[in-house]
């Protein structure tokens, strides 16, 4: 019975992916347009929240200085909470830009109260702009980004504009290529489908512009969750503000190049989404929003519970081998429904994203689909732990994702400053890989050929994540980037 409940839960989330694909295809040509143009351009503040971004902060500030916008209407805030030599680099470049006539200030906090949300809230005290562009340290805005977005704010109801993330180092490794596919699905299909169908969607934390009054009237930046962006997004839309997503305007960023950095990022996003779910979802259902918006918000905010269901599926798998027997009835009752509702929905979801983004090279990317599914499974323990921590109010820090200033294909250099994270989780993941090795052998012996591909995905997914996590503990496989130019040695 428990196994059936888990399957139904996973199938519901799988069916939701089909709905997202449907909404995307239905609305993909309904591109938003500005109501008009500002007769006089407004003042814009660029906020750059930074914490120990030694390898990328110089690149960030250089790209911001190249934004094509009247200098007298542009304010730059470097919100630097760093505890390493990043602050020295920030200070040097800030002084250089100030000497060139930029309105730029460096705000350094001695403590990280509120983490990123606290830094953004602190910056508002001296913010001069009517609109605010937020950029994380590894993002590189195109020079025309502001001119292509600001006029959407001529609609007084628009509170936020989100651009689509690109990937500076997509081709760096197999891991970054698969990560890019993960993000493409969310950043293209989900955001487009939700924004153009009138559902709620969220600011992605960076590469977007806010109306200052939207932030203020929605309660400001709050740091009681690890995803302050998702939290504020829902509060703002509940206040009636309109959000716009621009999939054709790409702001590239650096993907995590090591497994532990990727897992840390996923843990933070997963835990924060469940924290936001607990905080916001009751308010959503008490509101006067249409039922279909409430339902979509529920699917959105609870989606990461699927990782917990996936772990339950792993644990409950053993009793079912004998419970439902083998052969045709098992295939009809279990294998085919699971495939159609869960696995096939994921395949359709990511296929649609790749086919849309890369009309000429999508087949090459789709060949990585089994690896993408395996990686998603391999992350289940990491993300299920995040879900449980959020459910049981376990407090944890906002852990930054290491970025190295890497672009393009693999490169190995010297003087890596970041110490790989170590925990017992990879050993548990390895245990699950061995656990599924037993099921692979059992399925082969009993001729369960339809089940075999799924079991291999679980086996390889957990095995790959575990081994990649452990491998990073050894210096010979660390990512070792260059020191930035004119950097102060650690």
Nearest CA to 246 among 365, 158, 177? Answer: 158
User: How confident is the model at residue 256, as a pLDDT?
Assistant: 94
In angstroms, the first-to-last Cα distance of the chain is 58
Query: Angle between the 259-286 and 291-302 helix axes, to the nearest 10 degrees?
Result: 150
Per-residue burial over 184-202, b if 16 or more Cβ lie within 10 Å, else e, is bbebbbbbbbbbbbebbbb
Nearest CA to 275 among 221, 214, 231? Answer: 231
Question: pLDDT tens, position by position, for the chain (490 residues)?
Answer: 787 788 888 889 998 999 999 999 999 999 999 999 999 999 999 999 999 999 999 999 999 999 999 999 999 999 999 999 999 999 999 999 999 999 999 999 988 899 999 999 999 999 999 999 999 999 999 999 999 999 999 999 999 999 999 999 999 999 999 999 999 999 999 999 999 999 999 999 999 999 999 999 999 999 999 999 999 999 999 999 999 999 999 999 999 999 999 999 999 999 999 999 999 999 999 999 999 999 999 999 999 999 999 999 888 876 444 444 455 555 555 555 555 556 788 889 999 999 999 998 888 888 999 999 999 999 999 999 999 999 999 988 777 788 888 876 655 444 456 555 668 899 999 999 999 999 899 888 888 777 788 889 999 999 999 999 998 777 654 444 445 444 433 3
Residue corresponding to tokens 């750059």: 48
132 CA to centre of own chain = 21
The angle formed by the CA atoms of residues 129, 71 and 78, to the nearest 5 degrees, is 60
Given the candidates 3.90.550.10, 3.20.20.100, 3.10.20.520, 1.10.3720.10, the CATH classification of the domain at 42-260 is: 3.90.550.10
What is the DSSP pairing of strand 158-167 with strand 44-50? unpaired
The secondary structure of residue 339, as a DSSP letter, is: I
Residues with active-site annotation: 81, 229
Strand ranges (DSSP E) for 13-53? 44-50
User: How confident is the model at residue 263, as a pLDDT?
Assistant: 95
Q: What residues does each domain of the chain span?
A: 42-260
């Amino acid at each position: 019975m428990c196994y059936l409940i888990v399957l139904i839960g996973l199938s519901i989330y799988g069916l939701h992916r089909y709905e997202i694909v449907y909404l995307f295809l239905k609305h993909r040509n309904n591109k938003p347009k500005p109501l008009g143009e500002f007769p006089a351009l407004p003042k814009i503040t660029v906020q750059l929240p930074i914490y120990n971004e030694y390898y990328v902060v110089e690149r960030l500030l250089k790209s911001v200085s190249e934004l094509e916008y009247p200098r007298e209407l542009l304010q730059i805030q470097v919100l630097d909470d760093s505890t390493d030599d990043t602050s020295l680099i920030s200070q040097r470049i800030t002084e250089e830009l100030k000497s060139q006539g930029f309105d730029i200030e460096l705000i350094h906090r001695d403590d990280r109260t509120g983490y990123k949300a606290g830094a953004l809230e602190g910056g508002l005290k001296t913010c001069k702009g009517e609109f605010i562009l937020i950029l994380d340290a590894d993002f590189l805005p195109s020079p025309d980004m502001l001119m292509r977005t600001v006029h959407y704010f001529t609609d007084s109801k628009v509170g936020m504009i989100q651009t689509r993330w690109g990937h500076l180092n997509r081709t760096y490794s197999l891991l970054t290529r698969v990560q890019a596919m993960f993000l493409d699905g969310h950043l293209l299909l989900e955001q487009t489908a939700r924004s153009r169908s009138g559902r709620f969607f969220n600011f992605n934390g960076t590469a977007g512009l806010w109306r200052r009054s939207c932030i203020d009237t929605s309660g400001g930046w709050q740091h009681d969750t690890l995803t302050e962006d998702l939290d504020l997004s829902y509060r703002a839309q509940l206040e009636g503000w309109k959000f716009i997503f621009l999939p054709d305007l790409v702001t590239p960023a650096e993907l995590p190049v090591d497994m532990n950095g990727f897992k840390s990022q996923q843990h933070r996003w997963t835990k924060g989404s469940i924290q936001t779910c607990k905080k916001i979802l009751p308010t959503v259902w008490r509101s006067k929003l249409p039922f279909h918006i409430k339902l979509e918000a529920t699917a959105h905010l609870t989606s990461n519970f699927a990782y917990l269901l996936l772990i339950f599926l792993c644990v409950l798998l053993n009793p079912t081998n004998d419970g439902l027997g083998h052969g045709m009835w098992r295939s009809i009752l279990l294998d085919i429904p699971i495939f159609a509702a869960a696995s096939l929905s994921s395949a359709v979801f990511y296929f649609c994203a790749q086919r849309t983004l890369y009309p000429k090279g999508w087949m090459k990317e789709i060949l990585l689909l089994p690896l993408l599914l395996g990686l998603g499974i391999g992350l289940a323990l990491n993300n299920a732990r995040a879900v449980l921590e959020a459910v049981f109010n376990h407090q944890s820090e906002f852990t930054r994702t290491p970025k190295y200033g890497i672009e393009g294909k693999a490169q190995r250099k010297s003087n890596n400053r970041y110490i790989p994270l170590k925990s017992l989780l990879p050993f548990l993941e390895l245990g699950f890989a061995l656990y599924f090795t037993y099921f692979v052998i059992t399925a082969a012996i009993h001729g369960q050929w339809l089940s075999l591909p799924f079991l291999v995905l679980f086996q390889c997914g957990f095995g790959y994540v575990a081994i990649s996590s452990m491998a990073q503990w050894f210096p010979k496989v660390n990512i070792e980037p260059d020191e930035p130019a004119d950097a102060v040695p650690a």
